[in-house]
């Protein structure tokens, strides 16, 4: 039995009906786990992903071939409340350039303390003033998708720990009080290779062809404007429901990877949503909100394209105002299948970037920068850091797991240590 979600058997109508009933009762995600558990007793599917040594097979930076690396550590704790709001097909600069977004609503320390005091029967303190709006925009890498999709994939289930929902939770803890926006790629070749066609011209496997005028800034700005409106509408609609035990509470929002919707959790979620009154500030209002941009692995191609477009984008009033609201950019172990341009190394481009005052954070692991099959990645990373330091940029560069062998496990674990 393979690791795929088991389809209903076609051998008999009774078997098909039984399979359909079982799927309805326990869900496809659990069936996938049961299928893999049963197949593992009979040998199990071979591991399909490996470390950095298979550079060519991975098309440069993605998962590749079997490996004998030790099993990954246990997954991080799930989001304490399923406050994940999926926004599918959000239009960008053009209606045809749409992306799925996933929003994790902020959970401030004040809210946690208020809930603890309410449980103890003490009156809550006066509500604090509304915090400054900060948004974290995250661009995932290869294989990363919704949890329920990853666990049903014959290879990608190994990296379920780094599904979009879990990474949103990690970023929520890393940036408390912030709105976490996961911006999914518009195309995933072979359900594995992320392709950000709406942000940068890309080949079949998602390797970028950078230019100075593709429109990545316009796309990002339009996505945020439309996502802000959609999120406000959904949250306002949720507050119209009166009963926290209404079955529709599990359906709005429809997250592809929830862990069920127990009544106690549901009641807390509804209480939170009823208190939530979100009014997002336009991204081009100077000083109205701030932004942190994060790219992981293949997702760094979006950050690079933004740098190439920076000079032209600053000529537009709205784009220039949006750029002024960007506080920091994080490159997390960038890599793609092209033979160059993994990191931006053109001094003129980086000089324009340096003038913005945006702080730069580059976090890498041996999986990318020590790979002998893709030696240009390490050279370009060093050049990127060197030029920005020479230009006086507020720069933080760090190698993680430098004393360990290159591995995909540590490549993904950069999420936890940056």
Q: Looking at the predicted structure, is the pLDDT value of residue 71 above 60? A: no
HSE-up of residue 257 (Cα within 13 Å, Cβ side) = 23
Q: Is residue 171 part of a domain?
A: yes
Sorting pLDDT into bands at 50, 70 and 90, what band is 108?
low
pLDDT score at 277: 59
The total number of structural domains that make up the chain: 1
Q: Is residue 48 part of a domain?
A: no
Q: Tell me: the pLDDT tens digits for 160-209?
A: 999 999 999 999 999 999 999 999 999 999 989 999 999 999 999 999 99
Average pLDDT over residues 8-25: 42
Q: Is residue 15 part of a domain?
A: no
**Residues forming a β-bridge with 207:** none
Q: State the residue range of the domain holding 132.
A: 84-417
Decide which of 214 and 67 is more confident: 214
Q: Tell me: the pLDDT tens digits for 246-290?
A: 333 333 333 333 333 334 444 444 454 445 557 899 998 888 899
Q: Is residue 114 part of a domain?
A: yes
Residues 6+ apart with CB under 8 A from 269: 81, 82, 83, 244, 249
Q: Is residue 335 part of a domain?
A: yes
Lowest model confidence (mean pLDDT) among 110-119, 168-177, 280-289, 310-319: 110-119
pLDDT score at 279: 84
Q: Tell me: the pLDDT tens digits for 289-298?
A: 999 999 999 9
Q: Is residue 63 part of a domain?
A: no
Residue 104 sits in a domain whose CATH number is: 3.40.50.1820
Q: Is residue 40 part of a domain?
A: no
| C-alpha radius of gyration, the chain, whole number | 22
For 301-330, b where at least 16 C-beta lie within 10 A, e where not — what string? bbbbbbbbbbbebbeeebbbbbbbbbebbb
| pTM, rounded to two decimals | 0.73
Distance from C-alpha of 62 to C-alpha of 72, rounded to nearest angstrom: 17
Q: Looking at the predicted structure, is the pLDDT value of residue 304 above 90? A: yes
Q: Is residue 106 part of a domain?
A: yes
Q: Looking at the predicted structure, is the pLDDT value of residue 299 above 60? A: yes
Lowest model confidence (mean pLDDT) among 42-56, 79-93, 107-121, 225-239: 42-56
Q: Looking at the predicted structure, is the pLDDT value of residue 326 above 80? A: yes
């Amino acid at each position: 039995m393979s690791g795929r979600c088991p389809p209903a058997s076609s051998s008999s109508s009774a078997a098909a009906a039984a399979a359909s009933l079982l799927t309805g009762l326990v869900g496809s995600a659990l069936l996938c786990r049961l299928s893999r558990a049963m197949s593992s007793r009979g040998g199990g599917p071979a591991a399909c992903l490996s470390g950095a040594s298979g550079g060519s097979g991975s098309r440069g930076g993605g998962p590749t071939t079997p490996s004998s690396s030790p099993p990954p550590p246990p997954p991080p704790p799930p989001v304490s409340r399923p406050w994940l709001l999926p926004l599918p097909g959000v239009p960008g600069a053009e209606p045809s350039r749409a992306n799925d977004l996933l929003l994790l609503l902020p959970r401030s320390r004040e809210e946690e303390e208020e809930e603890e005091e309410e449980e103890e029967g003490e009156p809550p303190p006066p509500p604090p003033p509304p915090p400054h709006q900060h948004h974290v925009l995250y661009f995932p890498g290869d294989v990363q998708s919704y949890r329920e999709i990853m666990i049903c994939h014959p290879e990608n289930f190994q990296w379920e720990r780094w599904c979009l929902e879990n990474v949103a939770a990690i970023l929520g803890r890393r940036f408390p009080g912030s709105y976490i926006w996961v911006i999914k790629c518009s195309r995933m070749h072979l359900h594995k290779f992320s392709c950000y066609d709406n942000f940068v011209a890309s080949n079949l496997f998602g390797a970028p062809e950078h230019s100075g005028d593709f429109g990545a800034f316009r796309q990002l700005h339009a996505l945020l404007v439309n996502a802000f409106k959609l999120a406000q509408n959904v949250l306002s609609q949720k507050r119209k429901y009166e009963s926290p035990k209404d079955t529709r509470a599990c359906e709005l929002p429809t997250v592809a990877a929830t862990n069920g919707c127990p009544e106690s959790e549901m009641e807390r979620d509804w209480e939170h949503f009823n208190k939530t009154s979100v009014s997002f500030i336009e991204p081009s209002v100077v000083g109205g909100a701030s932004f942190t941009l994060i790219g992981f692995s293949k997702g760094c191609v979006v950050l690079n394209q933004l740098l190439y477009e920076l000079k032209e984008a600053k000529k537009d009033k709205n784009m220039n105002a949006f750029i002024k609201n960007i506080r920091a950019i994080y490159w997390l172990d960038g890599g793609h299948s092209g033979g160059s341009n993994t990191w931006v190394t053109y001094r003129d481009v980086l000089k324009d970037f340096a003038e913005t005052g945006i702080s730069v954070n580059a976090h890498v692991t041996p999986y990318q920068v020590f790979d002998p099959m893709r030696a240009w990645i390490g050279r370009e990373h060093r050049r990127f850091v060197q030029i920005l330091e020479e230009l006086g940029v507020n720069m933080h560069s760090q190698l993680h797991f430098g004393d360990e062998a290159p591995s995909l496990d540590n490549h993904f674990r950069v999420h936890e240590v940056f």
